[in-house]
Chains A and B, each alone.
Chain A
Amino acid sequence: MLQVENLRTYYRTPQGSLKAVDGVSFTLEKGEILGLVGESACGKTTVALSTVRLLPPAAQVMGGKILLHGEDLLTKTENEMKHVRWKKVSIIFQGALNSLNPVLPVKEQIAEAILAHDNLTGEEVDTAIGRLFKAVRLDPDRRKNYPHEFSGGMKQRVMIAMALACDPEVVIADEPTTALDVIVQRQILDLIRNLRDERHISMILITHDLSVVAQLCDKVGIMYAGKIVEFGDIFSIFETPRHPYTQALLKSIPKMEQTKTQLSYIPGSVPDLTGEVPACRFYGRCPYAQQLCSETEPKIEETGPQSYVACHFWRNIKAH
């Protein structure tokens, strides 16, 4: 349903061109939740912004296709995109709960989103908001309240309601639970899953937290330094990770189910994406790195139906 092919988005910086997203491809079927996982600055937010064409002025899509039901979103004009945004694809930005206008009642802010994309009367809008509130398990009577009268978790629900306002097919959620407490986080995750089950929405969930992914996603794309280094369904990623980065990530989450073991971490830091990028971007932090890794970029190789990995030596590495 949504197909991203070889997306490349670069940022103009005084130091040169920052290759934030450099050849990212994935597919999303109806009703699927795809998780895009990676450290900060790996490009996952840029992928999201590229999809809805809301990139900052310094960023530019340099190539690739984003196909929604076969139509390339990247070739659409701004006017055409207005019909796509919110009605077909909507987005919940990172830290969105802080972006609510404190001087307007919440109802009006959602109404703004609706009216920007649909022609409805005031009454219709009000009913719609009531329904949306119910959908996100908020008391509809509270829609007249101001943002400061809501807790963090409730504000996030409001943002989710706003994203659902025009009944989109795809919702992109960028770090929807990062600023929230553990219990509230769980409630939001459960809410997201229920919404998907009820409305058959497809979702792209962007996060750096693998346990959120484990809880919610059907498919996972592991991003590193602008590329997807491994992609696959949730079980194979967790049970048979192939890419060294994936393996390292999995080893760094503390697991409640087992007794204490020394957590491992990944030494070093992400390469500078403006300068010369060594062929395999994980080179330098990879425990299995060889000469070849610093010279040639690893090709994407299929490891199964709708799974792939980008590593020269994935066959030799034991998936623990």
Chain B
Amino acid sequence: MPFLEEHQSPLINDSNGNTLVQIRNLKKWFPVRRSLFSKIKPDERFVHAVDGVSLGIRKEEAISIVGESGCGKTTLARLMLRLLEPTEGTILFESRDLFATTKAEMHKLRVQIQAVFQDPYSSLDPKKTVLQIVSEPLEVNHLTKRGRETLERVSYSLSAVGLDPPPRFLAKFPYELSGGQRQRVAIARAMVVNPRLIIADEPVSMLDASIRAEILNVMLNLRDKFNLTYVFITHDLAVARYVSDRMAVMYLGRVVEVGPADEICLNPTHPYTKALLSALPTTDPRKRHEGVELKGEVPSAVRIPAGCRFRPRCLYAFDKCNAEPELIKVGKDHYAACWLGEAS
């Protein structure tokens, strides 16, 4: 599988040995569910949720995967958590293939990669107390014996996310907590096993705008304190910029632009990134700008457009766009999958 194209390799594997996760030409296609009488055309048999993603995640960085619904970012997150098996390609965690490990090894790896989910209301079992919820990863992976040790580790975790003093929260049920507190519990649960990588799937999109900062700050502080690596999945570019060092923009199952967050927001190369940025509502009422630079609706992931997949909606398409571009270097550590980027 010649997936390490020349211009891709620094993307996947930073040669300083700084790479924690390597995503190699990952694909996940879901078969289309057919009802008894529908005829499925041969090229419409799969939903191409993730369609060839190659990306390296560096140690202790915070990287956001940004895109709208249907772009594949959530599927990518599930693949990284090994909740799904890939159709093609693989993910290496510290040079070990996540999908080729034995059960015993998988246990050890699982503990290194933990997750925080989107909905603080349904990601906690309503029938369990905070203690039970946060101690579950310890219990499931047989990391502690019951009793004192569990209590201490859970308390430490709760303290780390700002739920102080821990004894006050241990016996509470989720319905007794606010949205922000629940999300903190979810973070504490992810932290309790001392992971190296945390994947956060839209961790703040269901919280009120005024408490988002609360949770984001908790996560950032934890990163500094515990040398964590974060992958943030979000559709909100402003949040992505605030919270991450690097940003990867996804469209229809592929990464179309990746680079330092500030750089991408100030100098976007790919037209889709530009459209996303132009779509952000302003925060200054004096600077209201008109519309989005985009045509049409998001196509279904079943029939990926031929050539550059963004072409049908792109305002700048030209003849070269008949061929699907790979990620090309357009700046320092900045790559875009667009033929327009070749000029620079």
Interface residue from B212, B278, B287 paired with A252 (Cβ < 8 Å): B212
B: interface residue count bin: 35 or more
Which residue from chain A places its CB closest to the CB of B300 in the assembled complex? A151
State which of A154, A190, A249 has its C-beta within 8 Å of the C-beta of B210.
A249
| Proximity string of chain B (281-311) to chain A, C-beta cutoff 8 Å, 1 when within and 0 when not | 1111111101110100110000000000000
Task: Tell me which residues across on chain B come within 8 A of A264, comparing CB atoms.
Answer: 213
The answer to whether B280 and A182 have CB atoms under 8 Å apart is yes
Beta-carbon contact of A40 and B208 below 8 Å = yes
B215 to A, closest residue via Cβ: A265
Contact A39 B217 (CB under 8 A): no
Q: List residues of chain B with CB within 8 A of the CB of A209.
A: 209, 281
Which residues of the other chain, A, contact B277 by a CB distance below 8 angstroms?
A: 256
Q: Is B241 an interface residue (CB 8 A)?
A: yes
Closest Cβ neighbor of A234 among chain B residues: B285
Mark A224-264 against chain B: 1 for CB-CB distance below 8 A, else 0. Answer: 00000000001100100000000011001111110110111
Q: B68 within 8 Å of A by Cβ? A: yes
Which residue of the partner chain B has the closest CB to A220? B285
Is the pair B298, A265 in contact by a Cβ cutoff of 8 Å? Answer: no
Instruction: Give the Cβ gap from A31 to chain B, nearest Cβ, in Å.
Output: 17
Interface flag for A266 (CB, 8 Å): yes
Interface presence of B14 (CB below 8 A): no
List A contacts of B265 (CB < 8 A): 256
A254-B242, A255-B238 given; A211·B281 CB < 8 A: yes
Q: Find chain A residues with CB under 8 A from B291 CB.
A: 186-187, 190
B216 contacts A by Cβ under 8 Å: yes
Known: A181-B68, A186-B279, A212-B281. A266 touches B286 (CB 8 A): no
- Which B residues are in CB contact (< 8 Å) with A211? 209, 238, 280-283
Residues in chain A near residue B283, CB distance under 8 A: 210-211, 214, 253, 255-257
Closest to B272 in A: A183
Q: Which of B210, B262, B292, B298 contacts A186 (CB 8 A)?
A: B292
Contact across chains for A39 and B208 when beta carbons are under 8 A apart: yes
Asked if A257 meets B208 with Cβ closer than 8 Å, knowing A183-B279, A265-B213, A269-B178, the reply is no
In the complex, the answer to whether B210 meets A266 with C-beta atoms within 8 Å is yes
Cβ contacts under 8 Å, A269 to chain B: 178, 180
Question: Which residue of chain A lies nearest to B276 when distances are taken between CB atoms in the complex?
Answer: A182
**B236, CB-defined interface residue at 8 Å:** yes
What separation, in Å, do the CA atoms of A208 and B214 have in the docked complex?
A: 16
* Cβ-based interface call for B211 (8 A): yes
Query: If the complex has contacts A183-B279, A263-B217, A265-B210, are A256 and B285 also in contact, measured as CB distance less than 8 A?
Result: no
With A214-B282, A214-B285 in contact, is A182–B216 under 8 Å at CB?
no
Enumerate chain B residues within 8 angstroms of A99, measured Cβ to Cβ.
Answer: none
| C-alpha spacing A243/B133, complex, angstroms | 39
Q: Considering the chains assembled together, what is the distance between the CA atoms of A254 and B68 in angstroms?
A: 19
B322: Cβ under 8 A from any A Cβ = no
A75 proximal to B (CB < 8 A) = no
Q: Check A266/B238 contact, CB under 8 A, given A185-B279, A211-B281.
A: no
- CB neighbours of B297 from chain A (8 A): 151, 153-154
Beta-carbon contacts under 8 Å, A27-68 to B: 39-40
C-alpha gap A263/B210 in the complex (Å): 10
Task: Provide the A261-278 mask, 1 if CB < 8 A to any CB of B, else 0.
Answer: 011111101000000000
Q: Smallest Cβ distance from A112 to chain B, in angstroms?
A: 27
Give complex CA distance A215, B291 in Å: 11
Asked whether any CB of chain B lies closer than 8 Å to the CB of A189, the reply is: yes
Are the C-beta atoms of A151 and B298 separated by less than 8 Å? yes
> Bound state CA distance, A281 and B280, in angstroms?
32
Task: Tell me, yes or no, whether B237 is within 8 Å of chain A by CB.
Answer: yes
B213, B214, B217, most chain A CB atoms within 10 A: B213
Q: Using CB atoms, name the residue of chain B closest to A248.
A: B210
In the complex, chain B residues whose CB is within 8 Å of the CB of A208? 208-210
Question: In whole angstroms, what is the CA distance A208 to B298 when docked?
Answer: 27
Q: Does B246 contact A (CB under 8 A)?
A: no
A187: chain B residues at CB < 8 Å are 279, 291-292
Residues in A169-207 with C-beta less than 8 Å from chain B: 181-187, 189-190
Chain B 231-249 against A: per-residue CB contact (8 Å), 1 yes, 0 no?
0000111110110000000
Say if the beta carbon of B69 comes within 8 Å of chain A. yes
A252 pairs with B209, CB closer than 8 A:
yes
In the assembled complex, the CB of A274 is this many whole angstroms from the nearest CB of chain B, namely 16
Which one, B213, B216, B237, B292, contacts A256 given CB within 8 A?
A: B237
Q: Is B275 an interface residue (CB 8 A)?
A: yes
A39 to chain B, nearest CB (A): 5
Give the distance in Å from the alpha carbon of A212 to the alpha carbon of B179 in the complex: 22
Q: How far is the CA of A48 from the CA of B303 in the complex (A)?
A: 42
In-complex Cβ contact of A259 among B239, B262, B285 (8 A)? B262
Is there an interface contact between B290 and A190, defined as CB atoms closer than 8 Å? Answer: yes
Please determine whether A181 and B217 come into contact, CB atoms closer than 8 angstroms.
no
B206 to chain A, nearest CB (A): 10
**Min C-beta distance of A250 to chain B, whole Å:** 8
Specify the chain B residue showing the minimal Cβ separation from A214. Answer: B285
Q: Which 10 residue pairs spanning A and B have beta carbons closest together?
A: A263-B213, A265-B213, A186-B279, A265-B214, A215-B281, A181-B68, A211-B281, A254-B242, A254-B238, A183-B279
With A254-B238, A256-B241 known, 12 other A-B pairs at CB within 8 A are: A181-B68, A181-B69, A183-B275, A186-B278, A187-B292, A209-B281, A210-B283, A211-B280, A254-B242, A257-B283, A267-B214, A269-B180
User: B residues touching A (Cβ–Cβ < 8 Å)?
Assistant: 68-69, 178-180, 208-214, 216-217, 235-239, 241-242, 262, 265, 275-288, 290-292, 294, 297-298
